[in-house]
Amino acid sequence: METLTFKRGVHPPHGKYLTEKKPIEDLQPKDLLVFPMSQHIGAPAECLVKKGDRVLVGQKIGQASGFISANIHSSVSGTVKDVKPVLTAGGTKSLAVIVENDGQYEEIEFTKPKNYNEMSKEEIAEIIKEAGVVGMGGACFPTNVKLIPPPDKNIDSIVINGAECEPYLTCDHRLMLEETEKIVEGLKIILHMHPQAKGYIGIEDNKPDAIQAMEKAVKDIPNISVKALKTKYPQGAEKQLIYAITNREVPSGKLPADAGCIVQNITTLHEIYQAVVLGRPSMTRVVTITGEAVNDPKNLRVRNGMSFKELVEACGGFKEDPIKVISGGPMMGMAISSLDVPVMKGSSGILCLTSKQAVLPQESSCIRCGRCVQACPMFLIPSALDSVGRRKDYEAFEEGNGLDCIECGSCTFVCPAKRHLIQSIRTSKRTVLANKRKK
């Protein structure tokens, strides 16, 4: 089978053997759940409850406060114990609703929508918005906004990211095997919204069972096809995935819609199905708990708001103290200092690394080898962006197209001098964008 790919990139050890054969297990929460009002790109949700209120499963407790924002729903029934700022896995603080679980799981009365084939795309987008669905691959961009681009954009390709190129993570892989029909139905909903488009499901060739399962599920659907992708990082990044599947390039500073594409993640399709077919908001997700420091790595379906600590305990805890714990995968995830942080919509994994896996060497001076340039999938010069960023020359940083960096970490991975390239570039990007907002 022909495998498609993009230019450049790297080949980190994938580490998926720990959980790729582990079926999804359901895990129920303990006493307290924490629901941050900021689980998405854009404005934080506005809190709708106060201390002492009783909430039900599926009740909206956070209202989207802007065009780019998302609703937040309780995943349990119980009493609001507090509303206060909490630390999240991203290292920032967010106002959060803390709910004491009563163990009853009493639900609101969910209204099952009418057949989506009888709805307009605006009606479908409104249901998805109400359900609080965001991109579940990590970016957490509100899905309803992405599904209705400006009218001048001619969308002819719906590209589905089943690559799961981030090492160690297997939650999307397991969903493709175990919830195949729901994922396909989620894609059919998007294609109903964009009837002139075709659907493409891109899956890396290190998941042959997922390719086979998805091909079987879509064999009688003429406007959906499965594309086998070369196993390479960052194959699942939007612009790289679009190039691999459609051979189109998204111009600098532009969005996938400018290339006629909408890109969605596998888990996002599952949430679209839940919202549009079943009328249920985004309240759960599958999380991969993995790494050599974990006793029994697993894929767990958990309720939003649960503590990372509960998930690790459900995997038998640590067989040795991890030297580093990462929320997400090793390439783009964030190192965390405590397991007392909540599962949010974008929580794809908890990676616990031993001292043998996560050596933390000191960085040295750049040796001008050019390996970061050869690896960069965005055709940037990471060493130069790092240099001007450290000098706080943000004008030169912009001139070097630093804002085009997708923060994949390929440059840091290949650097023999162990330069903290992606950390430096990420900091410069944040500073430049903050300065632009002030103008």
Which residues are annotated as part of the binding site for [4Fe-4S] cluster?
366, 369, 372, 376, 405, 408, 411, 415
Write out the H or E segment, with its range, that includes residue 204.
strand 198-204
Largest CA distance in the chain: 63
- 179: amino acid identity, one letter: E
Supply 59's token pair: 């009740």
**Nearest partner of 244 among 263, 265, 258, 230, judged by Cα:** 230
Interacting residues of 167 by C-beta distance below 8 A, sequence separation 6+: 12, 13, 14, 15, 16, 233, 329, 330, 331
Phi and psi angles of residue 222, each rounded to the nearest 5 degrees, phi first: -65, -25
Q: Which long-range contacts does 422-429 make (Cβ < 8 Å, 24+ apart)?
A: 422/382, 424/385, 424/386, 424/389, 424/390, 425/382, 425/385, 425/386, 425/389, 427/389, 428/385, 428/388, 428/389, 428/394, 428/397, 428/402, 429/402, 429/403, 429/405
Interacting residues of 140 by C-beta distance below 8 A, sequence separation 6+: 39, 40, 41, 70, 134, 345, 346
Sheet with 46-47: strands ordered across:
46-47, 60-63, 72-73
Count CB-CB contacts under 10 A for residue 180.
16
Interatomic CA distance for residues 263 and 146, integer angstroms: 8
Count CB-CB contacts under 10 A for residue 126.
15
- 51: amino acid identity, one letter: K
Count CB-CB contacts under 10 A for residue 369.
13
